[in-house]
Amino acid sequence: MHLCNSNGTVDKEREYLQMVMQHRVDGIIGITYSDIDEYISSNFPFVSIDRYFTEDVIYVTADNSSGGRLAAQKLHELGCQHVAYIGGYQDTPSEIANRRKYFELECQELGKECLILEMLEPIEDLKKEVRHFLTAHPEIDGIFAISDTVAIDVCEVLDQMGRAVPDEVQVIGFDGQRIHKDAPYLVSTIVQPIQEMAEVAVDRLLHVMKGESVPQRTVLPAHYGQGKTTKKLK
């Protein structure tokens, strides 16, 4: 088994793909958001996590659509009146884009205006952009961040600005990060079923390597995880 970490670098991802194919590996599970479509063939056993390609590549994903809606519903239930979405985006197609899309749609259906701060990745100075955004919109009292990592950065900026989380601003991330499986979530979050996604990806790959047909798209449910960055419902 080869484990390759590109740290999000496109050239490294291409290099790793060429390397493992030259070593005649039987199949690949990939987590990538870079423009590497030309290197991916539906004729080679490849299972993607969260990302779909122009080729008919099999992929496994959390339900980002319902996750975005759930984040909006939670902020609404928690009494937030002025909500915002903060995140990055890439030009390559990805299921992750549905987090923003369906958060906005749910906000509209709830009758709430949704402010947006979306930045093309790689983001040079996320905290600086967040500070400018929050300074321009001091009314914001609820934020959905594209990931827990971004949510943590948002909370740090809010703290520097003297705005208390969750008393003044409530923040929800996406992923379900925690130090270990029994630890509390680092932030309130929409939890991806990471272990199940990995298990399904391996199962799908093994079937493909045997020449068996499997569903091209597998969507697994996400759920809300309470952390310290939102108030508890009474």
Q: How many Å apart are CA 100 and CA 60, to the nearest integer?
A: 19
Domain membership flag for residue 5: no
Give the residue numbers spanning the domain of 211: 10-62+193-220
Domain membership flag for residue 230: no
* Confidence (pLDDT) at 77: 97
Q: Which two tokens stand for residue 20?
A: 């493992």
Same domain? For 102 and 173 the reply is: yes
When divided into structural domains, the chain yields a total of 2
pLDDT bracket for residue 213 (50, 70, 90): very high
Of 151, 174, 190, the last residue of a domain is 190
Same domain? For 148 and 207 the reply is: no
CB atoms within 10 A of CB 105: 16
Same domain? For 68 and 171 the reply is: yes
Q: What are the start-end ranges of the H helices in the chain? A: 10-22, 64-77, 97-109, 126-136, 148-160, 194-209
* Confidence (pLDDT) at 79: 97
The mean pLDDT of the chain is 90
Cα-atom radius of gyration of the chain, to the nearest Å?
19
Domain membership flag for residue 226: no
Q: Which two tokens stand for residue 186?
A: 């680092």
Give the global pTM. Answer: 0.90
Domain membership flag for residue 99: yes
pLDDT bracket for residue 55 (50, 70, 90): low
Q: Domain containing 92 — which CATH number?
A: 3.40.50.2300
Q: Are 84 and 140 in contact (CB under 8 A)?
A: yes
* Confidence (pLDDT) at 19: 75
Same domain? For 179 and 139 the reply is: yes
